Chains A and B, each alone.
Chain A
Amino acid sequence: MTEIKNLDIQQKNVVVVGTDGSDAASRAVSYGATEASVRGSKLLIVHSWFIPNFGYGSAYVAPINEIEIAAQEVVDKAVEATKEAFPGIEVKGKLLEGTPGVRLVEVADKEADIVVIGTRGHGSFTSLLLGSVSAYVLHHSNIPVLLVRPEASH
């Protein structure tokens, strides 16, 4: 017999949304902001960066500072745009180092009531449609996952 436990809709008053700076992600961010405003929650915008692994013997050294600065810009831009479009809600950004899906799930499980993420919205295989990050989040999250397609309107 499965134990029935109710999911609390709101415990932490935070909606978390992942972004990579793409158009699909900004759709998800604005949907997340809508969700936060109807719930009276804060919005936390998360972006993760990581150093691509070029394998053994690679002579290439990633310019870590540049990557991190660019990543911080992704967060700042998303936060600014959202604050402007949704003046009624508290918006915060968070930059994390590591694999995007893994980091997002960690933050979401700890700090949020729901995690919002964009999907690519095309392709016949779910993995392709979702993208690897949203697929990871969908399968590993312990909190509700709101998937927003690029063409979704609200």
Chain B
Amino acid sequence: MIKRILVGVDGSANSLGALNWTIALAQQTNAEVMAVHAMGLKPIEENGKFLSPEEARHITAELLDSVWCAPLKNSGVKHQNLLLEGSPVTALLEIADESAVDLIVVGTRGHSLGEASIGSTAHRIIEESKTPVVVLPPRPADG
């Protein structure tokens, strides 16, 4: 049975698609959604200056709750939003293990750039996860 679904969010269009897909699955299965964002190790720049770790954390938490996870709030699905620090792959897999997650949902590509159709984060999650992983296509098929 699917009781708890973890989805990575980063505010990208694909991540929004992944979140909406996860919400629909959770509604169907009465599962709980864990929306997770890992802040990574790079400092955040705003208006030409770097934010302090506290500021960065504060702003990201705000974004996570009120913007990136807004569809989740509006869906009525049982959920929790988690802001983690560290490498996205490690943070995500650790929390998946600790929280006995049944399924991990990732978009094919988040904010990263490059030509491969699968982002490096998604690739490493597929490679290292013990939990089954759903990889969503970059865009739905026509028709």
**Interface check A72, CB cutoff 8 A:** no
Q: Are B17 and A9 in contact (CB under 8 A)?
A: no
A23 to chain B, nearest CB (A): 16
- Interface majority SS on A: helix, strand, loop or mixed? loop
Residues of B within 8 A of A10 (CB): 24, 28
B17 to chain A, nearest CB (A): 6
Q: Which of A1-56 contact B (CB under 8 A)?
A: 2-10, 31, 34-35, 38-40
Q: Are B126 and A126 in contact (CB under 8 A)?
A: yes
Chain B contact residue count (CB 8 A cutoff): 31
| Residue interface bits A141-153, CB-to-B below 8 A is 1, else 0 | 1111111110110
What residues of chain A have their CB less than 8 Å away from a CB belonging to chain B? 2-10, 31, 34-35, 38-40, 109, 114, 119, 126, 129-130, 138-139, 141-149, 151-152, 154
What residues of chain B have their CB less than 8 Å away from a CB belonging to chain A? 1-2, 13-14, 16-17, 20-21, 24-25, 28-29, 102-103, 117-118, 123, 126-127, 129-137, 139-141
Q: Are B132 and A7 in contact (CB under 8 A)?
A: no
A9 to B24, alpha carbons, bound, how many Å? 6
A37 to chain B, nearest CB (A): 9
Residues of A within 8 A of B20 (CB): 6-7
Q: Are A147 and B132 in contact (CB under 8 A)?
A: yes
A57 to B117, alpha carbons, bound, how many Å? 39
Q: Are A146 and B134 in contact (CB under 8 A)?
A: yes
18 A-B pairs (CB sep. < 8 Å): A3-B139, A6-B17, A6-B140, A7-B20, A7-B136, A9-B21, A10-B28, A38-B2, A39-B29, A114-B134, A138-B118, A139-B118, A142-B137, A144-B21, A144-B137, A146-B134, A147-B133, A154-B1
A6 to B12, alpha carbons, bound, how many Å? 13
Q: Known: A9-B28, A138-B118, A154-B102. Contact between A126 and B123, CB under 8 A?
A: yes
Q: Which of B17, B118, B134: most chain A CB closer than 10 A?
A: B134
Q: Are B17 and A149 in contact (CB under 8 A)?
A: no
